[in-house]
Amino acid sequence: MTHFEPEPEPSTFRRIAASMWGRPRDPSIHGVMDLDATSLIAFVDRYRGETGRRLTVTHLVAAAVARTFADNPDLNTKVRLGGRIERRRTVDVFVSVSTEGGRDLGGAKVEAADRLELGALVGAIEGGAGRARRKEDATASSTSALRRLPGWALGPVLRATDFVTNEAHADWPKLGLPADPFGTAIVTNVGSFGVDTAFAPFVPLARCAMVLLIAEIKPRPWVVDGRVEARPVLRLCATFDHRTIDGHGAGRVARGIRAHLDRLTEVAS
């Protein structure tokens, strides 16, 4: 008598993940940073009231990530061609979103995200996320097509996709195969699911330098002028590719994100 039975309806992402990953072996380092979110929340509320646009903390973090890697081009790298480290010419940020009522994952890649002002960045993310949820772009369509492949075929197809998009750097967006499909960094908000602290593994197809998870903003003890207060705290949880970013580089990223979040809220105040 077997103790297992097939999952009746695994999501597309789960089927891809099961075929794409082998045993854990990728070099990575992790880091957590807490930020007082009082000014961020106030700015989001003010921006929404003044513009009518649905700005979120995810948009602000994505903007800060893009500008931080623009300040540190030596960290905006990927490993390809059997170990060759190469710099990207642009800072592209991939923002993950849930699809199919939370059963699956999609997202929007924003190219040259560091060069966009905040309103344009919000539009780019929301537009791409909407197309992913409605499965209107070629990448979403090609991902959906993978759902129909048998399990034994997924692995070879994904390895071929990795070679085309990351090794050959072929750009076939109409076929759902854009070059460097995830760009510099992946940003995803898991706080909406009530997640307090979590780290994401690297997607082998990504070749990105960092995966950043935005956890739930919740009251935590915070020291203000020598006294402890309850403040809304934003927790950011990062996974770095240790082949291209070491502890010193991770520290530069953390300081940069903090500084750019401060600048974004101050300049636009």
Q: Please write the tens of the pLDDT for every residue from 115-130.
A: 999 999 999 999 988 8
**Structural domain contains residue 2:** no
**Domain-located, residue 58:** yes
Specify the pTM: 0.87
Residue 180 counted as domain residue? yes
Residue span of the structural domain in which 168 resides: 26-267
- The answer as to whether 256 is a domain residue is yes
Query: Which stretches of the chain are assigned E, i.e. beta strand?
Result: 28-36, 77-80, 84-87, 93-99, 104-110, 185-189, 210-214, 218-224, 227-241
- Cβ atoms of residues 92 and 109 within 8 Å: yes
Residue 140 has pLDDT above 80, yes or no: no
User: How many domains, the chain?
Assistant: 1
What radius of gyration do the chain's Cα atoms show? 19
CA distance 156 to 166: 15
pLDDT band at 210 (very low <50, low <70, confident <90, very high): very high
Question: Looking at the domain assignment, is residue 4 inside a domain?
Answer: no
Residue 30 tokens, joined: 């992790």
* CATH value at residue 257: 3.30.559.10
Residue 65 included in any domain? yes
Residue 144 included in any domain: yes
